[in-house]
């Protein structure tokens, strides 16, 4: 009886998946017919597809644009879905795909580099550059996570940081060479291919990958077993995993190089396919391919139906739609065996006295402040300022120095608090999407016509950061705020907000150029009022924290232990959420949404022996302020007469440090 019920349940789940695919196909087909009918009368469709007239513009447009785009959406959707399913199967990671392995970020930075520096070469087309960059980034991610046996959380973190670091490099190049709208549109994911040549170019690679997967069908099945069982059947695990990873990475890089980054198809399609509870690998891959093809076809046809003069990039539309779907699917994903952080009540043995540390860091802060105010580059070389000249220059250099210190201290303090609230040593406003949410809040305020004054910016940043942090905690509550689940939710939120920003950057709105420079973390135009507001926010948060020290001491022990010790979890988390949102939102205005200071400074404080709560928070704030002061001064002199934004410079230094930090963590 039980077996019959289980069989009936499996059949129901399979029918459910096929029904989803059928519904998606029907809606996409209807939209496709509607879009094509606006372009051509039905009696000319077959003529436009096979033998278009050279004198009929509508037929030529349909033949060279509409039909290739339709085929490309099906091929790219199926390919990305199969890549996602393969990566998730091989890495035992339900959130592995081209984006989380850093492939899209690597492709982006190499495309930008070749666009600016090798525009006339025939050696590096856009497709070739993206293929090389995507493969290189994926190899780097796997190499970083290999030491930790490709743990899901290690792969996700390495991929996230490599992708963000690559995007930071690309932003730096765009900042100094001038924005290229076509690059922004490609980076947002565009299926608007012109002609059939790209479709023809991508098909042989997909066909070869399909043949190889058929040949590797038995090893794929054996990978479903545990390592011991697979080895006992004679499977060379390392070799098979390597071959399948290479196939998936090359296919993903080829698709990304052709249509740009299309996020979430490789995550959502396999997740929906798994709802059928199909046990065979072949069926899972087939269902994933069908689901991915129908999803991307539907989204692309929807984009064409609603687009006017300014077309919405399909990749950005997929991110906007896919992020909420992924957030809904996250609670249904298994977390057994995923890496988690160890919560311990004992402090490390390397605890050191705070007095000597404070004296040393204070001396360094004073030294950097003196250098920043008095030493700079002029047309005749290095120049020391003193006397009245120093006083005059302090009017310009002083506010940006104070703003940089307070911004760095605020983001570091927010990161230290987040790590204690979540029990996750890798948590920070940058990694969990809080800083990106703050940046999006400012952009929305601007587009709604509220202006660019600092008070409005601060309000928008606070609202965006608060909303992001509240969403993060709400969606992580069911998993008892497990570190790995919070990372996954943060990645989904980051991708969602990044998709929104990509849509806005690709619109050609002149206000986006101003925002792009601001998003880089620039202190160039800091005024005394900016420094005063930033200092006031930092002081307000610092004065409130002594009343919350007990919470910060107990929360890392876990929800159950904190509840037994009399901590009101909802009240404590809400109050700390307000502080984090205020600090992260305000600091984003100064250091930008991606500096890595929020994760570097707390770790540096612990490495220097400051492990008690009050000592670590204070040390992290001082180290964060010192980092941003140094980055501000170096950004002013390194590329003189140009200036590099302090946030970008900190990110360029902080990204490799974060990856090195991952390597140091014990297995």
User: pLDDT tens digits, residue range 539-551?
Assistant: 998 899 888 888 8
pLDDT at 596 over 80: no
Show Cβ contacts of residue 388 under 8 Å, excluding neighbours closer than 6 positions: none
Q: Which pLDDT score is estimated for 504?
A: 63
Cα–Cα distance list, 437 to 125, 172, 472, 549, 592 (Å): 34, 21, 11, 27, 11
Q: Are residues 328 and 415 in the same domain?
A: no
> What is the rounded average pLDDT of the residues 650-665?
69
Report which secondary-structure segment, H or E, holds 197. Answer: helix 197-215
The stretch 643-663 carries a mean pLDDT of: 72
Neighbours of 632 (CB within 10 A): 33
pLDDT band at 367 (very low <50, low <70, confident <90, very high): very high
Tell me: do 326 and 417 sit in the same domain: no
| Cα–Cα distance for residue pair 460/113, rounded to 1 Å | 33
Tell me the average pLDDT across 208-228.
Answer: 80
Q: What domain range includes position 518?
A: 411-664
> In this model, does residue 204 exceed pLDDT 80?
yes
Same domain, 475 and 603: yes
- Residue 223 domain-assigned (yes or no): yes
pTM: 0.73
Rg, Å, the chain Cα set: 26
Residues 324, 178 share a domain = yes
Task: Give yes or no for residue 208 having a pLDDT over 80.
Answer: yes
Other CB atoms within a 10 A radius of the CB of residue 443 amount to 21
Same domain, 264 and 138: yes
Please indicate, yes or no, if residue 462 is contained in any of the structural domains: yes
Q: What is the pLDDT of residue 520?
A: 63
Q: Per the structure, how many domains does the chain have? A: 2
Q: What is the pLDDT of residue 241?
A: 78
- Residue 10 domain flag: no
Residues 290 and 417 in one domain: no
Euclidean distance between CA atoms 383 and 380, whole angstroms? 8
pLDDT at 363: 92
Asked if 327 and 416 sit in the same domain, the reply is no
Same domain, yes or no: 307 and 428: no
Q: Which of 332, 356, 382 is the last residue of a domain?
A: 332
Mean of all residue pLDDT scores within the chain:
77
Per-residue pLDDT tens for 280-329? 788 888 888 999 999 999 988 888 888 665 667 777 677 667 666 666 66
Q: Could you tell me the CATH number of the domain that includes residue 631?
A: 1.10.3470.10
Q: Based on the fold, state whether residues 221 and 317 are members of the same structural domain.
A: yes
* 383 falls within a domain: no
Angle between helices 454-476 and 483-505 (to 10 degrees): 140
- 188-192 average pLDDT score: 74
- pLDDT above 90: percentage of residues in the chain: 8
What pLDDT is recorded for position 5? 47
Q: Is the pLDDT of residue 347 over 60?
A: no
On the question of pLDDT at 238 being above 60, the answer is yes
Res 662: pLDDT = 65
Last-in-domain residue among 332, 365, 394: 332
Q: By mean pLDDT, which of 204-208, 226-230, 627-631 is the weakest?
A: 226-230
Is residue 64 scored above 80 in pLDDT? yes
Cβ count near 318 (within 10 Å): 27
pLDDT of residue 516: 63
State the average pLDDT over residues 529-539.
87
Asked if residue 660 and residue 519 are part of one domain, the reply reads: yes
Tell me which residue of 460, 464, 459, 446 sits closest to 514, measured CA to CA: 446
Report the distance separating Cα 385 and Cα 373, nearest Å. Answer: 8
642: in domain: yes
Taking only the tens place, the pLDDT of each residue in 408-454 is 999 999 989 988 887 777 677 877 777 778 777 877 777 776 766 66
Question: Among 44-48, 193-197, 652-656, which is the least confidently predicted range?
Answer: 652-656
pLDDT for 519: 64
Q: Are both 296 and 427 inside the same structural domain?
A: no
Between 554 and 498, the more confident residue is 554
Q: Is residue 148 part of a domain?
A: yes
Q: Does the pLDDT value for residue 564 go beyond 70? A: yes
**472 close to 573: Cβ distance less than 8 angstroms:** no
Q: Does residue 229 belong to any structural domain of this protein?
A: yes
pLDDT at 665: 54
Least Cα distance to 78 among 216, 227, 255, 220 occurs for 255
- To the nearest whole percent, how much of the chain has pLDDT over 70? 76
Residue 406 lies in a domain: no
531 and 629 part of one domain: yes
3-state secondary structure at position 378: strand
Q: By the 8 A CB rule, do 647 and 438 touch?
A: no
- Measured distance CA(403)–CA(632) in Å, rounded: 10
CA atoms of 486 and 480, how far apart (whole Å): 10
| Average pLDDT for 489-517 | 64
- Per mean pLDDT, which range of 288-292, 361-365, 571-575, 614-618 is the poorest? 571-575
- Single residue among 279, 301, 332 that ends a domain in this structure: 332
377: which strand partners?
382
Q: CA 394 to CA 407: how far, in whole Å?
A: 19
Mean per-residue pLDDT for 67-75? 91
pLDDT at residue 339 greater than cutoff 50: no
């Amino acid at each position: 009886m039980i077996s019959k019920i289980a069989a009936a349940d499996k059949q129901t789940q399979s029918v459910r998946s096929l029904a989803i695919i059928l519904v998606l196909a029907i809606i996409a087909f209807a939209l496709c017919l509607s879009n094509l009918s606006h372009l051509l009368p039905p009696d000319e469709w077959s003529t436009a597809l096979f033998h278009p007239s050279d004198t009929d513009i509508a037929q030529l447009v349909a033949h060279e644009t509409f039909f290739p785009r339709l085929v490309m959406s099906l091929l790219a959707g199926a390919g990305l879905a199969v890549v996602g399913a393969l990566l998730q199967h091989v890495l035992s990671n339900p959130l592995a795909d081209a984006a989380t392995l850093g492939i899209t970020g690597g492709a982006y930075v190499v495309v930008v580099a070749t666009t600016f520096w090798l525009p006339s070469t025939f050696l590096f087309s856009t497709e070739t550059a993206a293929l090389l960059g995507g493969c290189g980034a994926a190899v780097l991610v796997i190499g970083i996570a290999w030491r930790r046996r490709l743990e899901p959380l290690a792969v996700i973190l390495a991929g996230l940081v490599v992708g963000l670091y690559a995007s930071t490099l690309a932003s730096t190049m765009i900042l100094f060479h001038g924005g290229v709208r076509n690059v922004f549109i490609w980076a947002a994911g565009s299926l608007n291919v012109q002609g059939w040549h790209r479709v023809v170019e991508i098909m042989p690679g997909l066909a070869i990958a399909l043949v190889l997967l058929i040949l590797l069908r038995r090893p794929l099945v054996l990978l479903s077993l545990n390592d011991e069982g697979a080895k006992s059947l004679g499977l060379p695990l390392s070799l098979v995993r390597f071959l399948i990873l290479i196939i998936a990475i090359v296919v993903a890089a080829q698709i990304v190089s052709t249509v740009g980054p299309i996020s979430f198809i490789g995550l959502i399609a396999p997740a929906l396919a798994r709802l059928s509870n199909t046990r065979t690998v072949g069926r899972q891959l087939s269902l994933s391919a069908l689901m991915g093809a129908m999803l991307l076809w539907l989204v692309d046809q929807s984009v064409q139906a609603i687009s006017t003069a300014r077309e919405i990039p399909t990749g950005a539309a997929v991110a906007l739609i896919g992020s909420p779907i992924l957030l809904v699917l996250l609670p249904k994903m298994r977390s057994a065996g995923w890496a988690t952080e160890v919560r311990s009540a004992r402090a490390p043995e390397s605890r050191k006295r705070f007095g000597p540390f404070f004296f040393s860091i204070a001396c360094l802060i004073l030294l950097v402040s003196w250098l920043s105010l008095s030493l700079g580059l002029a047309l005749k070389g290095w120049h020391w300022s003193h006397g009245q000249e120093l006083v005059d220059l302090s009017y310009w250099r002083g506010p940006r120095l104070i703003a940089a210190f307070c911004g760095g201290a605020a983001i570091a303090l927010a990161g230290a608090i987040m790590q204690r609230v979540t029990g996750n040593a890798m948590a920070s406003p940058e990694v969990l999407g809080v800083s990106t949410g703050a940046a999006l809040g400012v952009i929305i305020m601007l587009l709604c016509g509220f202006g660019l004054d600092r008070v409005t910016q601060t309000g928008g940043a606070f609202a965006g950061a608060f909303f992001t942090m509240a969403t993060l905690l709400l969606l992580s509550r069911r998993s008892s705020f497990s570190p790995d689940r919070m990372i996954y939710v943060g990645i989904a939120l980051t991708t969602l907000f990044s998709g929104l920003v990509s849509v806005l950057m690709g619109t050609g709105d002149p206000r986006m150029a101003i925002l792009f420079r601001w998003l880089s973390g620039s202190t160039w135009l800091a005024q005394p009022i900016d420094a005063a507001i930033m200092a006031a926010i930092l002081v307000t948060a610092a004065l409130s924290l002594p009343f919350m020290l007990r919470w910060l001491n107990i929360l890392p022990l876990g929800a159950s232990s904190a509840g037994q010790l009399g901590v009101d979890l909802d009240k404590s988390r809400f109050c700390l959420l307000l502080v984090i949102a205020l600090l992260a939102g305000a600091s984003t205005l100064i250091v930008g949404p991606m500096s890595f200071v929020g994760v570097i400074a707390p770790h540096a404080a612990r490495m220097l022996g400051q492990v008690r709560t009050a000592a670590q928070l204070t040390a992290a704030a001082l180290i964060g302020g010192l980092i941003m002061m140094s980055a501000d001064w170096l950004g002013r002199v390194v590329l003189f007469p140009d200036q590099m934004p302090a946030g970008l410079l900190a990110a360029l230094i902080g990204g490799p440090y974060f990856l090195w930090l991952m390597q140091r963590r014990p297995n």
